[in-house]
Structure 1
Amino acid sequence: MSLKTPVIAVFDIGKTNKKVFLWSTTFEIVFEKQQTFDEIVDEDGFACEDLGALQQWIVSTFAELCQLPEFEIIGLNFSAYGASIVYVDRVGEPLAPLYNYLKPVSKSFPYTEYGGEAEFARKTASPILGNLNSGLQVYESTFRSFWPEVFKAVHFPNYLASLFTGRLVSEITSIGCHTALWDFDLGQYHPWVATIQDQLAPISTEAFLPIDGINYGLGLHDSSAALVPYLRSISDEFVLLSTGTWCIAMHPFNESPLSAEELAEDVLCYLQPNGKPVKASRLFGGHFHEEQVARMEAHFGGSYHDLTFSERVFSLSSRSSSVFECAFAARDLKDFPDLASAYDQFMVDLVGQQLHSLDLLLKDAPVKQLLVDGGFSKNEWYMRLLAHALPEVEVYAAEVAQASALGAALMVYEGETPKNLIQLKRF
């Protein structure tokens, strides 16, 4: 009779796709499943997550996983999107829909009482983003007189974990993702939070709760979870540049306070699972790429996928000086003879923006390594241009399977972190 393989289950909950993985103790994926759900609407007719259907799927799926004869589950954790709050009653049942963070705010916040918008945003490392500042969702909820009494307001990843632990807690990575709750100067809740603190679930300092032979995690904000495998595997100081629709550069070793000027350039801070801040800069790079490629292909015909890299790009100059404006958008495509030359110039402009965004993190805290993961790590123009512009930095394309889910799995594993979690290719 063969022995069961010990595995860690992780539910990775994105806005669109919901996934579950089983990781072996060598951190290979041995099982995965994906699910999508139609959105529902809240009482105002605004689209939101179907929390009931999601919850039912998670509970029933975990029960099915526990019955698989070849596996023994030794851990369970969650990585999920942030900026979302679940309001629960005294027995932990949701009292309201899981409101969409894109929903417009209906109650203004008294920023002037806390130094004005700019200073409030700087101290909380939270650009003024409406309901994306999820702490202000809780503030707004106190004015909903038609609600029954709210016992606790719980961050979404932590609520999902509570379905199995029975514990309503706040975990630090969810508190520290542009929520407007945390005072990064003081390393504690911002003073305004005193007005809602009775509603917030208490902060837990535990990484997981051992119950009946299973280590149950508390849930992690997905961006912070994605950083965990790198922090566990890379010994030198580094910046992780995670690329997709958004290109988010995270610098876990930059401890300088966030300035108003940095905040204005779309720099903010997250919190690591150990409570230390991570300074991060953002660029809408994947979106710019999709937008401009569509414009070029419509004009010239053909596909950029058929192009090959040429070192002539190193002789081109960029006009990019802002993280918010794609310089190539103002270029006249009639100035280029073909798609190849236009794409070369576009990538020079895009990487110029990326370098400007990176410089916001690196100018006061240089590192030896830049690790690029996600879609652009496979784009030769992007990687070669970065390496050419940063000769003093080792630039790597990094590949790690399902980084957010892997980070959540590592947080509930008590053994030694395996080597070779991350595959690196130097440019």
Structure 2
Amino acid sequence: MERPIRNVAVIDIGKTNAKLVLHDLETGEDVAALTTPNRVLTDGLYPHFNTDHLWQFILEGLVELSKVHAIEAISVTTHGASIALLRGDDLAMPVLDYEHELDADILSAYRDERPAFAETQSPALPCGLNVGAQLFWLEKRFPDRFEAADTIITYPQFWAFRLTGVRASEVTQLGCHTDLWRSAEKDYSSLVDRRRWRKKFAPLRSAFDCLGPLKPEIRAAMAGEGEVPVFCGIHDSNASLLPHLMSREGTFTVVSTGTWAILFAVGTESRPLDRDRDTLANVDAFGRPVPSARFMAGREFTEMAGGEPGEASREAAEAVIAKGVMALPSFASGTGPFPDREGTWTHDPESILQSERTAAASLTIALTTETCLGLIGASGPIIVEGPFARNVVYCDALAGLTGMAVEAKPGLTGTAAGAALLALGPSGGPRKVRQKPHETVRKPLRGLDAYAAEWRWQVSGDMPDTGERVGRAR
């Protein structure tokens, strides 16, 4: 009988950093990790990801990890809003940075052609955050190169292709605000057929599919023996969601944090989504639509707290609340529940202590998260994945604001465990999916209710009839 897979090397390409994480499926722990910055190159045709550097990092990392731990499988997860075009075995064009400002005339023409929100549940987003806009722009700007491309391949599957030579596309990546997918029909959108792109897309495969063994030349450079299966791969926020889908029942909400905060409301009654406030339907690993909301939590936090924020403390948070110091979104314009607001402070941030600035930023991220939860009708418990799970002020404030249990899962990356689970198959395989106990007891922050009411009034003019006004804007 074949031995169950235990150690999975997860390639996790985030927008800010790329990681190679070795995840132990038996213990549910990340046992080793390597990281590298994911820098954007500005030379050549347009700003693009340094895929050569990332590929070298992956190859060297697999060799390094294999010397210490047996690598029994490989899985891939990446950020959304990216796609690759292949000509033969190579890129036909560099992988476009989704934050690049697309030509206004081309983007305007795309807006006229993109499918309605009712069809795709994908809102119109700035720059290249809709992958359909990227493809449209590339086709208009570089028609010969685009025509010469023989394959359009989703981004996690691009890396799986580099590892195996097998081309695939996958629905969690196609379903994350691309304008390319109709989740209700489980098929490509009308845009894909109008532009005649369908024939170029790599074959659809399940995220759980084993695409094949690792290429022999890559395996030969690593320690150990035997073939290493490579699994198809998954969108990073959906990877964070997957362990909970495979181990929980009933309603719950997952908040996957990093550069972006992506919120998934599982098991709730369907409700209309607001296309103008960055709500959408994502698609989970089983192909099902999930009401979702998003904002650039990591980017917003850095803009508010500064480059060296330090740890957020409850003492600093309560001092901020007492003084009425507020950061008012959005500091990453054009996204999130307040896309048309420009970020401001009620007090000069340079005049307050760094600890209080960090606390104020943490409170604002919590309040923005609460807003997003309301937009998608989310229910508890709330599971916070990734960096913000380590932020005590954020978690305590979120619990106080929502009245829901908040469970923190602060591992190096909330995505590695989920991406590793692909190796067990959609039923979880022979091993029960493990979920470690989470701390759910949260301490209330003094004065938070009045502070929150004032913050909401400052942001949207939506001041409740009751509640004390605090910290009037300076």
TM-score range, shorter chain: 0.7 to 0.9
- Counterpart in 2 of 1:416? 431
Q: How has the CA–CA distance of structure 1 residues 145 and 313 changed in structure 2, closer, same or farther, with 3 Å as cutoff?
A: closer
Tell me what 1:207 maps to: 208
1:402 aligns to 2:402 (yes or no):
no
> Aligned pair 1:174/2:182, yes or no?
no
In the superposition, relative to structure 1, how do residues 396 and 168 fare at CA in structure 2: closer, same or farther (>3 Å)?
same
Q: Which amino acid aligns with 2:396?
A: R
CA RMSD of aligned residues (A): 4.0
Residue 268 of structure 1: CA displacement? 1.6
How much does 1:306 deviate?
8.5
TM-score normalised by L of structure 2:
0.72
Query: Partner of 2:464 in structure 1?
Result: none
Any idea what SS the aligned residue of 1:19 has?
A: strand
Letter in 2 for 1:268: L
Deviations 1:197-251 (A, max 9, x none): 1111121136122547533111211111121122233334211123445433221
Q: Does 1:361 align with 2:369?
A: no
Residue 137 of structure 1 corresponds to 134
CA contact (8 A) 1:347 1:381 kept: yes
**Distance in 2 separating the partners of 1:49 and 1:426:** 41
- The residue type equivalent to 2:402 in the other structure is L
CA distance in 1, matches of 2:245, 2:322: 33
* Deviation, structure 1 residue 423: 3.1
Structure 2: gaps spanning 5 or more residues: 214-225, 330-336, 443-474
SS of equivalent residue, structure 2 residue 168: coil
Give unpaired runs (5+ residues) of structure 1.
none
Q: Which amino acid aligns with 2:93?
A: A
The answer to whether residue 85 in structure 2 is matched with residue 82 in structure 1 is no
Is the Cα–Cα contact under 8 Å of residues 383 and 397 in structure 1 kept in the other structure?
yes
Query: Residue 28 of structure 1 aligns with which residue?
Result: 29
Residue 219 and residue 420 in structure 1: after superposition, are their counterparts in 2 closer, same or farther (change >3 A)? closer
d(CA) in 2 for partners of 1:229, 1:245: 21
Measured in 2, the distance between the counterparts of 1:333 and 1:137 equals: 38
Residue 400 of structure 1 and its aligned partner are, at CA, apart by 4.0
The answer to whether the 8 Å contact 1:236/1:369 transfers is no
User: What is the CA-CA distance between 1:389 and the residue it aligns to?
Assistant: 3.3
Q: Any idea what the Cα deviations from partners look like across 1:48-92, whole Å, max 9, x if unmatched? A: 2222232244235435555x3x643321111112222221123x2
Aligned to 2:264: 250
Task: Please give the per-residue CA displacement for 1:134-172, whole angstroms capped at 9, x wherever unaligned.
Answer: 133223333423427211011121010012232111011
Q: 2: distance between equivalents of 1:360 and 1:205?
A: 30
- Kept in 2: contact 1:9–1:73 (CA 8 A): yes
Question: SS in structure 2 opposite 1:256?
Answer: coil
Whole-angstrom distance in 2 between the partners of 1:52 and 1:71? 25
State whether residues 238 and 368 of structure 1, in contact with CA within 8 Å, keep that contact through their aligned partners in structure 2. yes
Residues 8 and 314 from structure 1, CA distance in 2 versus in 1: closer, same or farther, beyond 3 angstroms?
Answer: same
Query: Following the alignment from structure 1 to structure 2, what is the Cα–Cα distance between the partners of residues 208 and 126?
Result: 29
CA contact (8 A) 1:8 1:24 kept: yes
Q: Does 315-324 or 397-406 show the bigger shift?
A: 315-324
Q: Which of 315, 337, 354 is residue 307 of structure 1 equivalent to?
A: 315
| Residue 102 (structure 2) aligned to one of 95, 101, 105 | 105
* 1:282 and 2:282 aligned: no
What is the percentage of aligned positions where both structures have the same residue? Answer: 23
The AA in structure 2 aligned to 1:370 is I
Assess, with a 3 A threshold, how the Cα gap between structure 1 residues 417 and 244 changes in structure 2: closer, same or farther.
same
Q: Which residue of 2 aligns with 1:426?
A: 441
